[in-house]
Amino acid sequence: MQLQQASTADRPRSGGATRWAAPRDAAPPPQGGLDLIEQFGTRRLARRGQEFYAAGDPAQFCYRIVSGCVRTVGLDEDGRRQVAEFLLPGDLFGFDSLDTHHLSAEALTDTVVVCYPRRAVDALAEQHPGLARRLRDLTLRNLRRAHEKMFLLGRKSAGERVAAFLLEMAERTAPGAEGTHIALPMTRADMADHLGLTIETVSRTMAQLCREGAIASCKSGIEIRDREALANFCAGGTRH
Amino acid sequence: MQLQQASTADRPRSGGATRWAAPRDAAPPPQGGLDLIEQFGTRRLARRGQEFYAAGDPAQFCYRIVSGCVRTVGLDEDGRRQVAEFLLPGDLFGFDSLDTHHLSAEALTDTVVVCYPRRAVDALAEQHPGLARRLRDLTLRNLRRAHEKMFLLGRKSAGERVAAFLLEMAERTAPGAEGTHIALPMTRADMADHLGLTIETVSRTMAQLCREGAIASCKSGIEIRDREALANFCAGGTRH
DNA sequence: CGCTAAGTTGACTGTTCTCAAACTTGGTGG
DNA sequence: CCACCAAGTTTGAGAACAGTCAACTTAGCG
């Protein structure tokens, strides 16, 4: 399942754009100090289900998503799973590692990434304090998000978790828009393992949100019908 | 409740060592690139309950604990609380912030810290790539710990959470030692808000661990009686 | 067109929460 | 020194939320 470098490699500006590089879902290259690393980026395609790296692997590469969706996953000896994050076009991953990755990263859909050798990134950071700063800020933002997620997992009800998740996905894919279609490329099992619930509870909760008119379910996604109601649900919809 | 700078400030090497600077619980200054910032450190005493900073405050200082114990806390509008971490001598905090702190930090006991101005730390990091690297690694380790905690909160039972917490505290205060006294300077409420449980559940679970002989409770702490049993409890003690 | 994986729904169980009361503990002042 | 008080902790009984098990439906794919 490991990503094949040779077979899917693709020069950064090579003319042969595949359908994965279609402009409508392509994420722009990063701004700020991070554009320095762009010269070392290599474009790659990962098929649905392919693994970018496994937990414990040496951290050789970091990635930026151009199109598609990726999940980072932790697994314990009992087979219990925790999906740390879902990553969308524009998101970076694999930067948040020391010598080895402690989570695995897998493509949820066919995904195009730009891939940077860590060695080059680290060397560049040595010379450019601005880049080093950006990398630290990136990690700090991830840490902040992790703390918010800890709060979600430790202190929120099933309803609040699902509603918060849907709002987050909506915000990330179509900021501010109401009534638009939100793609949910992950399975119920992925959502459950992300939210600390079971697939049945996720399914039931989404059914309830439909019944109450907050969302409508389309195929492989939802539509936000009543953002207000969803946000409300976030802060104690089930609790009295 | 905000920490008073003037009244508690204390020059780094001033002779007037208070009882808080007693050598037996004093943590050594940091090694690696981090010792560079030591020249800017100022020693301070925070009384039990005092706040180093609140969520939303501009991030002006970062801290290293010399003795005592600190908690970082997130609070939401409903009054629900999440204790992100407990910090012990040698631990650093306040480094994991962007412009503002997103958690508050409070002293659990009378605590001596060394306090570094962020402005100086950042400026130093600009000039010393090694320090910048160390700061990023520090944040990365925090992120890794946050991910482990997410797993704990999302996927483990009450028994596993409490057992894991006690083992973690044991490991941090007396690595490898069995039968030693482990201080627990936090209240049951703090533990509950850290583990995503209620005080009653924490209390009941600890009572059960006592009954089973894994631990014994001393005043304001516990003694690990059977590390094996505790570790066992960690990985599915209540589950079949 | 049937196979498999994913999703839904229902009935039931159980862990954890809630509410309430009794019980420690530590500090304060008479 | 002891009584008192407040804060924290323990324990119990019952309720509720989410989990488990199982049947069924739907969707995707050869």
Please tell me whether residues B211 and B181 are part of one structural domain. Answer: yes
Q: Check which CATH number belongs to the domain holding B195 and give it.
A: 1.10.10.10
Mean pLDDT of the A6-23 span: 39
Element (H, E) at A142: helix A129-155
| Buried/exposed B188-204: b ≥16 CB within 10 Å, e otherwise | bebbbbbbbbeeebbee
B85 and B128 assigned to the same domain:
yes
- Which of A6-15, A24-33, A81-90 has the lowest average pLDDT? A6-15
Sole residue written with tokens 């880049």? A131
Contacts of A137 in chain B (CB under 8 A): 98
Consecutive sets of 10 residues in chain B, 240 residues long: mean pLDDT of each? 43 38 59 83 96 97 97 94 97 94 97 96 94 94 97 98 97 81 96 98 97 91 92 68
Contacts of B92 (CB under 8 A, 6+ apart): B30, B62, B63, B64, B65, B138
Higher pLDDT, B188 or A79: B188
| Closest residue in A to B135 (Cα–Cα) | A136
Residue B41 sits in a domain whose CATH number is 2.60.120.10
Does residue B50 sit within a domain? Answer: yes
Chain B residue numbers touching A82 (CB-CB < 8 A): 147, 150-151, 154-155
- Does any domain span residue B10? yes
pLDDT for A181-232, tens place per residue?
A: 999 999 999 999 999 999 999 999 999 999 999 999 988 899 999 999 999 8
Q: Quote the number of domains for chain A.
A: 2
* Residue A68 φ/ψ region, left for φ over 0, alpha for ψ in the -120 to 50 degree band, beta for the rest: left
Taking an 8 Å cut-off on Cβ atoms, the answer to whether B125 and A133 are in contact is yes
As a rounded value in angstroms, the CA-to-C1' distance for A118 and C9 is: 48
- Å: A100 CA to C23 C1': 51
Q: Are B233 and B159 spatial neighbours (Cβ–Cβ below 8 Å)?
A: yes
Is B133 within 8 Å of A125 when comparing Cβ atoms?
yes
**CA angle A224–A229–A235, rounded 5-degree value:** 120
Residue A183 lies in a domain: yes
A194, part of any domain: yes
B24 and B134 part of one domain: yes
Same domain, A83 and A179: no
- Mark whether B102 and B72 lie in a shared domain: yes
Dump pLDDT digits (tens) for A80-90.
Answer: 999 999 999 99
Same domain flag for A160 and A83: no
Measure CB to CB from residue A150 to each of B96, B132, B153 and give the nearest one: B153
Which residues, at least 6 apart from A1, have a Cβ–Cβ distance to it below 8 Å?
Answer: A49, A50, A51
Same domain, A47 and A116: yes
Query: B139 vs A143: CB contact, 8 Å cut-off?
Result: yes
Judge: A132–B132 Cβ closer than 8 Å, yes or no: yes
Residue A58 lies in a domain: yes
Give me chain B's average pLDDT, please.
87
Whether residue A141 is found in the same domain as residue A161? no
Q: Is the pLDDT of residue A239 over 90?
A: no
Q: Which residues of A touch B129 (CB under 8 A)?
A: 125-127, 129, 132
Domain that holds residue B46: 5-146
Using the 3D structure, point to which of B86, B114, B146 is the last residue of a domain. B146
A42 belongs to a structural domain? yes
Evaluate whether residue B240 is within a structural domain: no
- B199-228, pLDDT tens digit by residue? 999 999 999 999 999 999 987 899 999 999
Report if CB A187 to strand C is under 7 Å.
yes
CB contact under 8 A, A96 and B235: no
Examine the fold and report which residue of B114, B146, B178 is the final residue of a domain before the chain moves on.
B146
For residues B162 and B132, state if they share a domain.
no
Would you tell me how many other CB atoms lie within 10 Å of the CB of residue A230?
21
